[in-house]
């Protein structure tokens, strides 16, 4: 693989300009996340197990497929705004919430093994200032 400039690539391919880094406020990011969850209100999403018992270095690496965080992570708008992955620590950083606040959204102890999109959306909205 060789490095090419955007101009060089545009000769052989269509270069997508729309995926540049976006700037969204904290509330805009949370609103976007809640909106994504509301798009499939009946969808059952996975929770993370016993977040509160994990040391912070392990807790920050926790993730699972099909979680409320993974819904956010799959969104191109949130990705272009800086969401890097679907781990607990990255969600805390990106959405600017505390571990306790994110615990309320995603932990097994509140919802069991799954949470509906609608319930997750309401919980995310409760974090808005």
Q: What does the pLDDT average to over 95-99?
A: 97
CA distance 77 to 123: 21
Sign of CA dihedral 12, 16, 20, 26: negative
> What is the reported pLDDT for 22?
76
> What is the reported pLDDT for 14?
54
Residue 119 has pLDDT above 90, yes or no: yes
Q: Contact 129/38 with Cβ under 8 angstroms?
A: no
Give CA 122 to chain center in angstroms. Answer: 15
Rounded to two decimals, what is the model's pTM? 0.82
In a domain, 12, yes or no: no
In a domain, 15, yes or no: no
Q: Domain range spanning residue 64?
A: 21-125
In a domain, 47, yes or no: yes
Phi and psi (nearest 5°) for 40? Answer: -130, 75
Residue 63 has pLDDT above 70, yes or no: yes
In a domain, 5, yes or no: no
In a domain, 2, yes or no: no
For 32-52, write each residue's pLDDT tens digit.
Answer: 999 999 999 999 999 999 999
């Amino acid at each position: 693989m060789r490095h090419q400039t955007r101009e060089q690539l545009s000769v052989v391919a269509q270069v997508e300009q729309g995926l540049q880094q976006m700037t969204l406020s904290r509330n805009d990011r949370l609103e976007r996340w809640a909106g994504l969850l509301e798009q499939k209100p009946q969808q059952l999403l996975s929770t993370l197990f016993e977040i509160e018992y994990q040391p912070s270095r392990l807790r920050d690496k926790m993730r699972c497929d099909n979680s409320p965080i993974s819904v956010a992570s799959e969104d191109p708008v949130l990705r272009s705004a800086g969401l890097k992955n679907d781990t607990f620590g990255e969600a805390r950083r990106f959405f600017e919430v505390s571990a306790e606040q994110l615990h309320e959204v995603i932990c097994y102890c509140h919802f069991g093994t799954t949470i509906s999109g609608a319930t997750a959306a309401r919980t995310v909205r409760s974090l808005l200032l």
